[in-house]
Amino acid sequence: MKRPLLIASAILISLTTACDKSDSDSGTTLNGVFVLNEGNFGQANASITTYDPVTGEVSQNQYENENGSPIGDILYSATEIGDRLYLVVNNSSKIEVVDKETLTKIATIRIANEASPRELVQVSEAKAYVTNLYGNSVSVIDLETNEEASIIAVGSNPEGIAVVGERAYVANSGFGNGNTLSVINTATDEVTGTITVGDNPVSILKQDNDQLWVVCAGAYGDFSDPNDDTPGMIYVINGTTAEVVTSFEVGGHPGDLVINDLDDIAYLMNGDVMSIDMNTFEVMDSAFIEKNFYSLGFSTSDEGQFIWGADAKNFAQSGLAIQYNLNGVKVDSFPTGIIPGAFYFSAE
């Protein structure tokens, strides 16, 4: 489940969360939109919805249809590496490796000790890292053997991760009580330092210039008293030097952040979807899209750039994916599975 929206109920059923999990090729033609549906916690009913933007065809349960069995419990994120997709299945503590076009299963990577994997990022040709929410760790994944090779201890309840050069940056959420990034030397797999940021860092998005945008969702304090919450913030980090460039308050308890093709406007899920000038670090429009989503995605191709919002409805029925242009105008929509938590875009 996602961070701020269901945090109260998540305490009752064990928190599982998401952050910016959109992954898009900078291709010429958008061939397909994949929606990763988390499913209900403990019910192992996660699924993948596919959408053909040319024909408008929508297909549900594509992983199960292709492989003959469901994917598992809480499908959290997808990362493309070469011709493969690495599907992180959070509450099943595994990563399913599939063909990125057909979703045909290639291998299963098991994460030990029910560590609750979240976000996976490629570190080198043969190595990837995945954050472990309950393990307070990062697993080193051998991409050649498809095995968990070792574990790196980081801060409490890590979620987002990004790599710049030989540094990996890990957002330690602390379930709302954390305020640090762990910095890992990717050559030695050792933590070399920490960076203090705002309360509850949950995701990290890398710009083309290697600046990192860290979404800090803010602390919740006493759930019965919203007045003791701390506001959401954005921290901008120079990924090359590991120094803080700036920070600014956005208020509320923000979630997914996506960036346009020019790296000059960011769109942040924070109640409504707000737009942010990435050069001046100012909020341009606090209600650029007047709708509360469960997750956001961003696609780019010759056909244009689009913002995608996922509506989880009542978290028990099928959800809805909605496509918007960069004027914030609705373009299209299609049904998804239960709790659409992330987007993956196939372009070439």
Domains contained in the chain, number: 1
DSSP assignment letter at 263: S
CATH number of the domain at 208, please: 2.130.10.10
Q: Token pair 């330092």 is at which residue?
A: 193
Question: 313 pLDDT exceeds 80?
Answer: yes
State residue 96 phi and psi, 5-degree precision: -90, 125
Q: Once rounded to an integer, what is the mean pLDDT over residues 194-223? A: 95
User: CA 5, CA 21: separation in Å to the nearest integer?
Assistant: 16
How much of the chain, in percent, has pLDDT values that exceed 70? 92
| Buried b / exposed e along 5-34 (16+ C-beta atoms within 10 A) | bbbeebeeeebbbbbbbbbbbeeeebbbbb
Residue 37 lies in a domain: yes
Q: Once rounded to an integer, what is the mean pLDDT over residues 288-301? A: 97
Q: What is the domain extent for residue 291?
A: 7-347
DSSP string, 159-204: EEEEEETTEEEEEE-GGGT--EEEEEETTTTEEEEEEE-SSSEEEE
79-88: long-range contacts, CB 8 A cutoff, minimum separation 24? 79/23, 79/119, 79/120, 79/121, 79/122, 79/128, 80/23, 80/25, 80/344, 81/122, 81/128, 81/143, 85/344, 86/120, 86/128, 87/36, 87/63, 88/117, 88/118, 88/119, 88/120, 88/130
Q: What is the pLDDT of residues 53-85, one digit of tens each?
A: 989 999 999 999 999 999 999 999 999 999 999
Amino acid at 219: A
Residue 24 is predicted with a pLDDT of 44
State residue 66 phi and psi, 5-degree precision: -80, -35
Residue 1 lies in a domain: no
User: CA 288, CA 296: separation in Å to the nearest integer?
Assistant: 13
User: CA 118, CA 19: separation in Å to the nearest integer?
Assistant: 9
Residue 2 lies in a domain: no
179-184: long-range contacts, CB 8 A cutoff, minimum separation 24? 179/216, 180/155, 181/214, 181/237, 182/138, 182/154, 182/155, 182/158, 183/242, 184/129, 184/138, 184/152, 184/154
Residue 1 is predicted with a pLDDT of 52
Confidence band, pLDDT 50/70/90 cuts, at residue 8: very low
Alpha helices in 18-170 (DSSP H): 62-67
DSSP string, 300-321: EETTEEEEEEEE-TTSSSEEEE
Task: Pick the closest to residue 214 from 254, 261, 165, 263 (CA basis).
Answer: 254
Q: What is the pLDDT of residues 230-281, one digit of tens each?
A: 999 999 999 999 999 999 999 999 999 999 999 999 999 999 999 999 999 9
Q: State if pTM tops 0.85.
A: yes
Question: 225 pLDDT exceeds 80?
Answer: no
Helix (H) or strand (E) holding 235: strand 233-238
Q: What is the pLDDT of residues 142-167, one digit of tens each?
A: 999 999 999 999 999 999 999 999 99
For the chain, the straight-line distance linking the first and the last C-alpha, in angstroms and rounded, comes to 31
Radius of gyration of the chain (CA): 18
User: CA 150, CA 138: separation in Å to the nearest integer?
Assistant: 9
Residue 224 is predicted with a pLDDT of 74
Residue 68 lies in a domain: yes
